[in-house]
Structure 1
Amino acid sequence: MYDSVAASNCSHDRIKTTTPTITISLNLSTIPNPSTVLSPNTHTMSSSLSSSSAIPEPNTEACLGVLQKLIQIKSYSKTDGELAATSHMVIIMRSIGLDSKLFKFDNDTRQNAVGVWKGKGKGKNLLFNGHLDTNPVTEGWTVDPWGGLIRDGMIYGIGVSNMKSGCAAYFCAVQTLLASGWKPSGDITLTFVVGELQGGVGTAALIEQGVCDNADYFVNCEPSDLKAITMHAESQIFRIELTGVTRHMSKREEATDALLAATDLIPRLTDLTFPNAKNEDVESCNRCHVGVVRAGLGREMADWRPPQVADFAVIRGAARFGPGQTPSDVRSALDKACQQTRDCFPSLQYEITFEQADGMPSFEVPKDAYIVKALNKVYEQVRPNQTQPTGVLKPQCFYGSDAGHLYEKLGMEGIVCGPGGKYNTMPDERVEIVDYVDCIKMFIRLIMDVCG
């Protein structure tokens, strides 16, 4: 619910006044053939799976090689590197026997890669989803962002956490099962999309093209540190314009300072939750953040006259709100906060606008859903005597993911779980190798359980 701040508690009362396109050249001849390097070992499987089968173990060195090759493809979002990464995935999926193809979208300028392992019976169908486009490299890196360095139990690279390790994990799980001779009853579909960083346009395109219709369940492999994320928020980008009244600093008592009003408003926004949360889980997904503040003289926000009181300020931020809440709920809370600031600055005017046309929908799945329980079970098989953290967990509940599109557009039951997260979106982005390999082991068992 909305966390109000008393209108009389005004901060100013305490002040005494008198990307270019990048062409990628990919040498596929240097990529090991996955069908020859990922020969699995086996051990007796748990009683929860078919006693007539064995659980294959992935080849760690080979699986790290698969991930390294993905890291070495510079696949910045909305560049030709996306084409190289998706084409690479189709090639290696075909090399292990999957029915694989590229699906074009956005006037054929972008493409997703999809591979299908057809089942031999009438088992349940499982879809894996992940994106290959990455954020740009920022300042502060001490290693080659595209080197795929392995050091001290970590693998480094831009996009390795968000989220090439997740993509490589489900590819390696399927390849390991194929090499072992195991046969699924249901279909396994691997989707490697782009455009997740533009609101999930790649997955949305696959849904519109009917590629995902056959699946009963999905696993979205965004970085969760192998936690099972059952809910995440929707995002709304907002802009608030504050208009005051200027005077020279000698007469600032007569002014309405838009900059000072912004400093009063920002803490109110930071503390917001939004109305109509249906339960505590949904409310726990609520967060409001201000990321940009500018102020100056006039709508141009001229900054060359510091002795004059600023009469115009712009605040830009993002709201995260949970399933069942709406942009109207966000607007209502923003409006109340602005009204409280206006009570402290009576001549102040404000305008709230939403900048984001469409984005990531929210996502939720019951904690006792089949796919959640199945994932919990295989986690405990891979990590004995440990219980998988499951639920509405921070910080992941504030993320956006393509799980929202699969949930909203198809009503599909799914879960968000993948390696990485701890070192996500930061210089020297990296993933713990044990988490990557354990994720592969989990996905092997999950496929056998769901599709066997």
Structure 2
Amino acid sequence: MTTQPDLEKIENAIDATISRFSGRAETLLEELVAVPSVNPEQPGVNKTDHIGGESRANKLFATHLRDLGMHIDYVEIEEGRANLVAILRGAGQGRSLAFNGHIDTVAPQEGRFVDPWTAVREGNRLFGLGATDMKAGHAAMWLAVKALAEVGVRLDGDLHIHSVVGEETMSHEIGTTAVLNAGYQVDAAFVPEPTSSGNLLQMSNTAPGNALFSVTVRGKSAHWASRNLAIRPGGGGDSIGVNAIDKGVYVYNAMRQLEEQWGISKAHPQFLPGAFIIHPGVLKADVGIEAAPYFPDRARFDYLLSFPPGDAFEQIKAEVEQHIHAACALDPWLREHPPEFEWYASWPPAFSDPGADFVRTALAARNSVAGQDYLDAGVIPAGAQSDASFYEAQGIPAVVSGPGDLLCAHAADESVDLELIPIAARTMARTALRWCSV
């Protein structure tokens, strides 16, 4: 049994070891950035150009983890997109823990650097695609396990690393969920996604759910000069033509009305009022060609909505459709030609009880590393979704806390503060030591 003085001695040795090998972790990050691992399902990319990149990055990562004595395996549901599972075997009596990180990135954008896969250092910052989201998290995972191995710690429970594919497009069925369904179950999960936006290594136990969907409104094409006959009193109205933009605005206003209702009806004690929104992101309307002299006969809005823990996606979907159909029942054209919904992605909310043993253990580890300012700091909602949701969907508590700034994730000039990596590694190593030891 580990006593408090023993624990402090071990943690001090871990901290010193992390400091000694932090340069190696930075080099690993540079190596990982140099392997293009764009999610091949990202909008606007040619899938065949990027199949295999995630696997190559995971195989590079595996060589570093194998050197630490970790058992290596792969779970590959879709060819060329292999998840990495690495396990540091424990003595067998303790609880298990997974460090989870997604190896896929978004597509590159035009930025300040010609090659987004060549890491560039400027002071304490390292620039490169995936540096913040979330290959710095991988470097921290490696550094945490390296320190445990160097100090000679033998955990009682198994320590896993799940380096997964598909997170950027919520393809959890071939990523995190596939790993869990393959039998790599754990008692808790720690996800080092970027959480250092303003405050050091914020820790989250919850995140909203979200859904992506479109609403298509049909019109009736006509010549632009017929507009007065279609909309003025005494004209032929809908028999002349129906501008889908006009009807789309009607639907938009109904959706906005529902969003305002949600400001009151959708609530959660950890979220600010009005946190759950229905965001219109794309509007497309035309008659098959982009030309103003026609009544457009189709208008499509693409939305992303967020909803609180405790609500289910099917419930949210039904609520949105019922509200819009009820509003459209008041319009003669839309009553006969109701909008068409397409729901094409949803991400379940994340929630682990802040009073749960694992959440308190991880939070105490973070606070012990971050210093006096964090003595009373609690968990907060995450700024974005993560694969923590899919551990929690299987009853596994999870927290999210890691190096990197969410505000520069997915940005053209993505970067990470290198000083955050050893701090994250200290938090993760302490969490493993306190959770996995009897």
Q: TM-score range by the shorter chain?
A: 0.7 to 0.9
User: Once structures 1 and 2 are overlaid, which stretch shifts more, 380-389 or 216-225?
Assistant: 380-389
Letter in 2 for 1:206: V
SS of residue in 1 equivalent to 2:57: helix
Letter in 1 for 2:108: V
- Between the aligned partners of 1:72 and 1:290, the Cα distance in structure 2 is 35
1:65 equivalent to 2:27? Answer yes
Q: Is the 8 A contact 2:403 2:420 kept in 1?
A: yes
Tell me the alpha carbon deviations over residues 262-290 of structure 1, each in whole angstroms, 9 at most, x when there is no partner.
23443553561659757444776522122
Letter in 2 for 1:233: P
SS of residue in 2 equivalent to 1:355: strand
Tell me the alpha carbon deviations over residues 385-437 of structure 1, each in whole angstroms, 9 at most, x when there is no partner.
122754453xx34x3221111111x2111111222213111111011222222
2:167 paired residue number: 196
Q: Is the 8 A contact 1:153 1:433 kept in 2?
A: yes
- Between the aligned partners of 2:202 and 2:133, the Cα distance in structure 1 is 15
- Between the aligned partners of 2:244 and 2:67, the Cα distance in structure 1 is 62
Deviation at residue 331 of structure 1 after TM alignment: 3.3
- Between the aligned partners of 1:91 and 1:447, the Cα distance in structure 2 is 22
Deviation at residue 339 of structure 1 after TM alignment: 4.2
2:10 paired residue number: 53
Deviation at residue 193 of structure 1 after TM alignment: 0.9
- Between the aligned partners of 1:360 and 1:71, the Cα distance in structure 2 is 27
2:289 paired residue number: 302
Deviation at residue 350 of structure 1 after TM alignment: 2.8
Deviation at residue 117 of structure 1 after TM alignment: 0.9
Q: Is the 8 A contact 1:321 1:330 kept in 2?
A: no
- Between the aligned partners of 1:227 and 1:269, the Cα distance in structure 2 is 33
Residues 148 and 411 of structure 1, relative CA distance in 2, 3 Å threshold? same
- Between the aligned partners of 1:46 and 1:338, the Cα distance in structure 2 is 63
Structure 1 gap ranges (5+): 1-44
Q: Is the 8 A contact 1:169 1:436 kept in 2?
A: yes
**Number of positions where the alignment pairs a residue of Structure 1 with one of Structure 2:** 395
Tell me the alpha carbon deviations over residues 118-171 of structure 1, each in whole angstroms, 9 at most, x when there is no partner.
112512211111110111101234363112222132111111111111122112
SS of residue in 2 equivalent to 1:77: coil
- Between the aligned partners of 2:3 and 2:116, the Cα distance in structure 1 is 39
User: Once structures 1 and 2 are overlaid, which stretch shifts more, 123-132 or 198-207?
Assistant: 198-207
Letter in 1 for 2:69: G
1:238 equivalent to 2:213? Answer yes
Q: Is the 8 A contact 2:217 2:340 kept in 1?
A: no
Counterpart among 372, 379, 387 of residue 402 in structure 1 = 387
- Between the aligned partners of 2:363 and 2:203, the Cα distance in structure 1 is 8
- What is the TM-score normalised by the length of structure 2? 0.82
1:84 equivalent to 2:56? Answer yes
Q: Equivalences for 1:2-401 in 2 at 5 Å?
A: 47=4, 50-51=7-8, 53-55=10-12, 56-57=14-15, 58=18, 59-78=21-40, 79-106=51-78, 108-142=79-113, 144-199=115-170, 200=172, 201-211=174-184, 213=185, 215-225=186-196, 226-247=201-222, 248-253=226-231, 254=237, 255-266=241-252, 268-269=254-255, 272=259, 277=266, 279-281=268-270, 286-297=276-287, 301-304=288-291, 306-326=292-312, 327-337=314-324, 339-340=326-327, 343=330, 345-348=331-334, 349-356=337-344, 359-387=346-374, 390-393=378-381, 396-397=382-383, 399-401=384-386
1:422 equivalent to 2:393? Answer no
Residues 155 and 60 of structure 1, relative CA distance in 2, 3 Å threshold? same
SS of residue in 1 equivalent to 2:7: coil
Deviation at residue 346 of structure 1 after TM alignment: 3.9
SS of residue in 2 equivalent to 1:347: helix
Structure 2 gap ranges (5+): 41-50, 232-236
- Between the aligned partners of 2:418 and 2:9, the Cα distance in structure 1 is 31
Deviation at residue 333 of structure 1 after TM alignment: 2.9
Tell me the alpha carbon deviations over residues 195-232 of structure 1, each in whole angstroms, 9 at most, x when there is no partner.
22232221111111111x2x211112222222211211
User: Once structures 1 and 2 are overlaid, which stretch shifts more, 254-263 or 432-441?
Assistant: 254-263
Q: Is the 8 A contact 1:219 1:417 kept in 2?
A: yes
Q: Which structure features the higher share of helix residues? A: 2
Q: Is the 8 A contact 1:276 1:325 kept in 2?
A: no
Deviation at residue 47 of structure 1 after TM alignment: 4.8
Letter in 1 for 2:296: A
- Between the aligned partners of 1:354 and 1:48, the Cα distance in structure 2 is 59
Superposed CA RMSD in Å reads 2.7
Letter in 1 for 2:316: D
